[in-house]
């Protein structure tokens, strides 16, 4: 009986000290259809579903100090700059902008979360069309 009690207390202590972790994800998007730059000429698809991505992670450390990977121009501008360059008579069509936010932390007694880490990712995708 004594060994069972020691084992039970040891497992309980391990569970209490390890704690829980909660992950929450949210997603948003915007879509911009084919806005023709020139309506008086024919066009063709050159490439479909080209993508540019940008991501940053913010970690809240002890004593409320923040440590993060730096994004100098903003996530959307960085993602757009990673799209392929356009040639003459080309343009982007069917552009979509997706944003995924992931937060990790510990749960509170009121059903909330104390955020310890947040990751934000922006993905820009589009088709490339060419006028002829």
Q: Which of 110, 77, 95, 81 is nearest to 34 (CA)?
A: 95
Domain coordinates in residue numbering, the chain:
20-131
Tally of residues, the chain:
132
The predicted structure's pLDDT at residue 39? 62
The predicted structure's pLDDT at residue 42? 83
* Strands of 66-68's sheet in order across: 22-32, 90-107, 113-131, 43-60, 66-68
Contact between 102 and 127 (Cβ < 8 Å): no
Phi then psi for residue 14, to 5 deg, are: -65, -45
pLDDT tens by residue, the chain, 132 residues: 677 777 767 676 565 555 677 788 889 988 887 665 556 678 888 999 999 999 988 887 654 555 555 666 788 999 999 999 999 888 888 899 999 999 888 887 787 778 888 899 999 999 999 888
The predicted structure's pLDDT at residue 20? 73
> What pTM does this model have?
0.71
């Amino acid at each position: 009986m004594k060994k069972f009690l020691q084992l039970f207390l040891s497992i309980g202590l391990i569970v209490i000290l390890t704690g829980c972790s909660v992950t929450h994800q949210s997603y948003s998007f915007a879509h911009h259809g084919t806005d023709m730059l020139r309506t008086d000429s024919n066009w063709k698809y050159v490439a479909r579903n080209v993508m540019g991505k940008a991501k940053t992670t913010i970690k809240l450390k002890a004593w409320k100090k923040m440590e993060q990977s730096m994004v100098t121009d903003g996530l959307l501008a960085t993602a757009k700059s990673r799209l392929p360059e356009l040639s003459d008579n080309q343009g982007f069509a069917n552009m979509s902008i997706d944003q995924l936010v992931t937060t990790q932390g510990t749960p509170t007694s009121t059903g909330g979360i104390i955020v310890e880490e947040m990751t934000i990712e922006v993905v820009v995708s589009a088709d490339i069309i060419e006028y002829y």
